Structure 1
Amino acid sequence: MIGINKEKLLNYARTEEDKLFVRRLMDKAQKSIKGYLTFTHFIDPHQRAIARQVLHELGVKYLFDGGYKDAERVTIAFLPDYFDYNTDSETLEMVRNDPSYPVSLVQISYKKNQYSRELTHRDFLGAVMNLGIKRETLGDILVHDEYSQIIVLTDIADFLENNLYQLGRLSVDVKTVPLTKLVVPALKTTEKTTTVASLRLDAIVAEGFNISRSLASDCIESGKVYLQYEECNNVSKSVEEGQTITLRGKGKIVLCSIGSTSKKNRIFVTFKKFI
């Protein structure tokens, strides 16, 4: 990190909160250089985009881990030099076997009755947050039939076991289970085939999320849109087949296929939307 321009790194941050995050990254990186394996709390896709840029500049070894492949919320493990393994999977296994590994899996089970409904991601998140838990201590929430699994920082696992008894009118059973018991639910999706004027990000976001093109542009420029889980502020960025687009507060779509051009010079596309 000798010779690194801190002001240059802070330029990757837009807000004071982002600047604080960048400073924390620099502190963690410094500890890893001194030979310590260190971790962050859970970060969102916006913070992950910042982290990629900052850590590339710092030249430190790191990995993202949210408990399973394709997790949206992840921690960052800062790797000291002795974590020198041939493959990413070997490195990840070594990190997860380290006594300082900070991630646990909490399972919340309940029994439906004739008056109850299926609990949703919002229900589980709301119940946990109402206990005073900070969002940064929570990873992804994986919802199943009559139970949910929440990836958390180990520090709060016991607290949840001892303090979460109900979700709405339903009694729940909360316990910590091994991370190897994590079950990724089958994703529910719908498909839509339509036409777009171009493959620009603003056009794809507008059509994929059923919003106006001007609103799509505003969302992109304000940092609410992620292309391949990285924040993208370029409205004219070309979207490629197979890429994932997330709009904060609206969900996630995949541009599944790009077809031929219509007589009106519009492009046929197929979206997959996660519900």
Structure 2
Amino acid sequence: MDIYQHFRAEERPTIDSLLDKVRTASEQYAPVLTHFLDPRGQYILEVIVGSFPDMKVHFNGGLNAERCRAIVAPDYYVPEESDFELSVIEIQYPEKFVTLEHRHILGTIMSLGIEREQVGDIIVGESIQFVLTNQLESYIIMELTKIKGASVKLHVVSLQDMVQSKAYWQTVDATVSALRLDVVLKEMIHKSRTIAKELVQRKRVKVNHTVIEAVDYQLEQGDLLSIQGYGRARITHIGDRTKKDKLRITYQTLFK
């Protein structure tokens, strides 16, 4: 089976990295832990694992997490929570004097030299928390002392004490004439195709965290869209065609 034929050419580095981990798990017949994967990365890994007999993949990034670590292992293996090596960090900050957003937290974390793949979800709700690999727990607590100029304190909490975002993903079933970015975007934002094209051409749309300027960019299952002025959306399923030759898709939106 040629794994590469199912995915985009630019995804080859991701495929190679994940394929290497699956092969290692299969050859050693032992569990292998990955870094954090976005929904598209999780989908790619599931497809790869599906081509290896007797191998399974398990995901965990905390309660209802979008970004998860994966364990690829023989089908006899049942992972425990601790096997995913996750740390949940809660931020205490002077709420009366500063407002912190997702971008402030992520930017500060990455300014410390921590790669994005080592960080899971960042939850801004009743309190602010983020998830990361537990090997970085001591380092982040020692080094992250200020965000947006405000002094902060970090505390480790259990996965069971993760807060949930007040925002909720809304699931929609729809049909589209094609998986072109402008066509699917038009459906998601309920605007004209002209407006959808303008958003893309003005660099206001990201797919899997990368700005896409081609309106005919082909979307696939697992893709995560960030749409400036609207919010985020993700394609969770691509189904078969209708009698009128339209594609059935399921997508979720987290709009403002």
TM-score in terms of structure 2 length: 0.70
For residue 248 of structure 1, give the secondary structure of its aligned residue in structure 2. Answer: strand
What amino acid is the match of 1:20? Answer: P
Using a 3 Å threshold, how does the CA distance of structure 1 residues 203 and 222 change in structure 2: closer, same or farther?
Answer: closer
C-alpha distance 248-222 of structure 1, shift in aligned 2 (>3 A): farther
| Structure 1 alignment gaps of length 5 or more | 84-90, 191-195, 232-245, 256-270
What's 2:35 paired with?
Answer: 41
Q: Does 1:73 align with 2:67?
A: yes
Equivalent position amino acid for 1:64 in 2: F
User: How many aligned positions are there?
Assistant: 215
State the secondary structure of the residue aligned to 1:112.
coil
1:42 partner amino acid:
F
- Can you list the C-alpha shifts for 1:162-213, whole angstroms capped at 9, x where unaligned? 00001112110012222121111221689xxxxx9x7546545225335624
| 2:105 alignment counterpart | 124
Q: Which residue of 8, 16, 21 corresponds with 1:28?
A: 21
- 1:226 Cα offset (Å): 6.1
Inter-partner Cα distance in structure 2 for 1:144 and 1:123? 15
Match of 1:106 in 2: 89
- Mapped to 1, the partners of 2:226 and 2:82 lie a distance apart of 34
Identical residues among aligned pairs (%): 25
The alignment's TM-score, normalised by the length of structure 1, stands at 0.66
Rg (Cα) greater in structure: 1
Letter in structure 2 aligned against 1:103 = L
Q: Would you say 1:212 and 2:195 are equivalent positions?
A: yes
Relative to 1, partners in 2 of residues 1:38 and 1:174: Cα closer, same or farther, differing over 3 Å? same
Matched, 1:154 2:134: yes
SS of residue in 2 equivalent to 1:252: strand
Q: Distance in 2 between matches of 1:159 and 1:254?
A: 33
Structure 1 residue 96 displacement after superposition: 1.2
1:176 aligns with 2:171: no
Asked if 2 retains the 8 angstrom alpha-carbon contact of 1:43 and 1:136, the reply is yes
RMSD of aligned residue pairs (Cα, Å): 3.2
Q: Is structure 2 residue 226 aligned with structure 1 residue 248? A: yes
8 Å contact from structure 1 (residues 12, 50) kept in 2: no
Q: For the structure 1 residues 168 and 95, does the alpha-carbon distance in structure 2 shift closer, same or farther, using more than 3 Å as the test?
A: same
Q: Taking structure 1 as reference, are residues 219 and 53 closer, same or farther at Cα in structure 2, changes over 3 Å only?
A: farther
Q: Aligned equivalents of 2:135 and 2:75: distance in 1?
A: 27
